[in-house]
């Protein structure tokens, strides 16, 4: 599974590297990179909202069918299929719109967490060997999550690049590229390679996990307001996750390089803005209203195409008054 996400991260890393190539600032590159990816994923988000609206619209009708055919599962399935076809809703229609953004977002994370292999696209075996060598040097032993060792290697690279071992692993061009990349992690006096935990809880770096918590909670709060009906149906354990995850994210951001926490902040803030746009123009309620209006217009159009069938009384009256289409003159 990690290989799949790493593959997406490697592809998205080209976008991140392109942003860094022009900006020379990894922090700003993350901001631009996240905005671009969010814009690309926006149509999927809208489709997900549309699918959710279709599901909400059919809930009452589904419940009626379930009550009517409670003892006949085969007939229930047939009627359910007819209902889906009539309403134009696909049972699994929302799955793709959820899976694709998830894969991309995980790919973004892998591009940020593994910058040497997925953004600079250096040889993975060489990078892994350099990380292993770094861990043998007294004072450079990694105590954080192994996932972020490439970021740690960038942080200490200026101090170890002239060693014989590193010189034998990387070419002069690769070393210079890593140094230039490392310099780009300094943003407004903050070194994104620094781990907040190492600087103490009262340092400025502690703002990163705090902002992670605030941005995550804010984004989730707006999403709950948008999808009130869906959130009301979630089980208690899922609701608890909405409150536990921000705390967990803040803790992780406190113990990993600041670049990862900064990415999470950017992602949450941009998701928050996106949620406001969706709340204004793409809510399930608005989709439901549009679909109902479309169904009414379609029914009226179909009725207009059906020729009017006269009742026997109307036919008799019409025959007496018109004869062969005209009333006889005396």
pLDDT in tens, 292-315: 565 566 556 655 655 655 556 555
**C-alpha to C-alpha distance for 97 and 11, rounded to whole angstroms:** 20
316: in domain: no
Residue 149: which domain range?
2-287
76: in domain: yes
**C-alpha to C-alpha distance for 179 and 151, rounded to whole angstroms:** 12
Query: Helix 149-160 and helix 124-136: axis angle, to 10°?
Result: 70
Whole-prediction pTM: 0.66
**C-alpha to C-alpha distance for 238 and 248, rounded to whole angstroms:** 15
292: in domain: no
306: in domain: no
Kindly provide the b/e burial profile for residues 257-276, where b requires at least 16 CB atoms within 10 angstroms of the residue's own CB. bbbbbbbbbbbbbbbbebbe
Task: Give the pLDDT confidence of 77-120 residue by residue, as tens digits.
Answer: 787 777 766 665 665 555 555 566 666 767 777 888 888 998 89
182: in domain: yes
Contacts 24+ apart (CB under 8 A), 290-295: 291/53, 291/54, 291/57, 291/87, 291/88, 292/57
Helices marked H in the chain: 2-23, 26-68, 73-87, 93-113, 115-118, 124-136, 149-160, 164-169, 172-183, 196-199, 207-226, 228-232, 236-255, 258-281, 284-305, 312-322
307: in domain: no
pLDDT reading at 324 higher than 70: no
**C-alpha to C-alpha distance for 228 and 322, rounded to whole angstroms:** 61
Length of the chain: 330
**C-alpha to C-alpha distance for 283 and 128, rounded to whole angstroms:** 47
**C-alpha to C-alpha distance for 297 and 303, rounded to whole angstroms:** 10
Task: Give the pLDDT confidence of 23-44 residue by residue, as tens digits.
Answer: 888 889 889 988 888 888 787 7
321: in domain: no
**C-alpha to C-alpha distance for 178 and 238, rounded to whole angstroms:** 42
162: in domain: yes
Token pair, residue 285, equals: 């309620």
Task: Give the pLDDT confidence of 235-269 residue by residue, as tens digits.
Answer: 444 555 666 778 888 888 888 888 888 888 888 88
What's the confidence (pLDDT) of residue 169? Answer: 94
What band does 145 get if pLDDT is binned at 50, 70 and 90?
low
Task: Give the pLDDT confidence of 203-217 residue by residue, as tens digits.
Answer: 888 999 999 899 888
pLDDT reading at 8 higher than 80: no
Please choose, from the candidates 34, 87, 70, 12, the residue with its C-alpha nearest in 3D space to the C-alpha of residue 274.
Answer: 34
Instruction: Assign residue 200 a region (left: φ > 0; alpha: ψ between -120 and 50; beta: otherwise).
Output: left
Task: Give the pLDDT confidence of 39-75 residue by residue, as tens digits.
Answer: 887 877 777 666 666 666 666 677 777 777 777 778 7
Percent above pLDDT 90 for the chain? 11
Bridge partner residues of 326 (DSSP) = 323
CB 131, CB 148: distance < 8 Å: no
Domain count across the chain: 1
Average pLDDT, the chain: 75
What's the confidence (pLDDT) of residue 57? Answer: 65
What's the confidence (pLDDT) of residue 330? Answer: 47
Token pair, residue 96, equals: 């793709």
Token pair, residue 68, equals: 């009517």
Which of 128-137, 139-148, 197-206 bottoms out in mean pLDDT, i.e. has the lowest?
A: 139-148
Section 176-204 average pLDDT: 86
């Amino acid at each position: 599974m990690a290989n799949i996400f790493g593959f997406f991260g490697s592809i998205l890393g080209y976008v991140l590297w392109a942003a860094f190539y022009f900006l020379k600032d990894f922090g700003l590159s993350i901001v631009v990179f996240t905005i671009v990816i969010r814009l690309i994923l926006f149509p999927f988000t809208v489709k997900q909202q549309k699918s959710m609206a279709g599901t909400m619209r059919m809930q009452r009708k589904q419940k009626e069918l379930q009550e009517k055919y409670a003892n006949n599962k085969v007939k229930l399935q047939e009627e359910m299929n007819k209902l889906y076809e009539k309403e134009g809703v696909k049972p699994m229609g929302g799955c793709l719109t959820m899976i694709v953004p998830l894969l991309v977002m995980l790919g973004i994370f892998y591009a940020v967490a593994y910058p040497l292999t997925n953004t600079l696209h250096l040889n993975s075996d060489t990078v892994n060997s350099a990380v292993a060598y770094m861990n043998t040097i007294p004072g450079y032993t990694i105590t954080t999550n192994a996932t972020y060792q490439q970021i740690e290697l960038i942080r200490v690279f200026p101090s170890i690049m002239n060693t014989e071992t590193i010189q034998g692993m990387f070419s002069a061009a690769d070393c210079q590229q890593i140094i230039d990349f490392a310099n780009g992690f300094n943003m407004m006096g903050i070194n994104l390679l620094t781990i907040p935990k190492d600087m103490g809880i009262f340092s400025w770096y502690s703002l990163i996990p705090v902002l992670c918590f605030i941005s995550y909670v804010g984004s989730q709060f707006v999403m709950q307001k948008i999808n009130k009906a869906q959130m009301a149906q979630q089980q208690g354990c899922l609701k608890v996750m909405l409150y536990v995850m921000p705390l967990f994210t803040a803790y992780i951001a406190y113990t990993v390089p600041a670049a990862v926490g900064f990415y999470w902040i950017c992602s949450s803030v941009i998701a928050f803005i996106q949620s406001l746009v969706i709340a204004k123009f793409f809510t399930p309620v608005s989709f439901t209203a549009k679909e109902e209006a479309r169904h009414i217009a379609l029914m009226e159009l179909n009725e207009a195409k059906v020729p009017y069938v006269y009742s026997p009384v109307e036919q008799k009256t019409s025959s007496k008054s018109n004869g062969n289409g005209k009333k006889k003159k005396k």
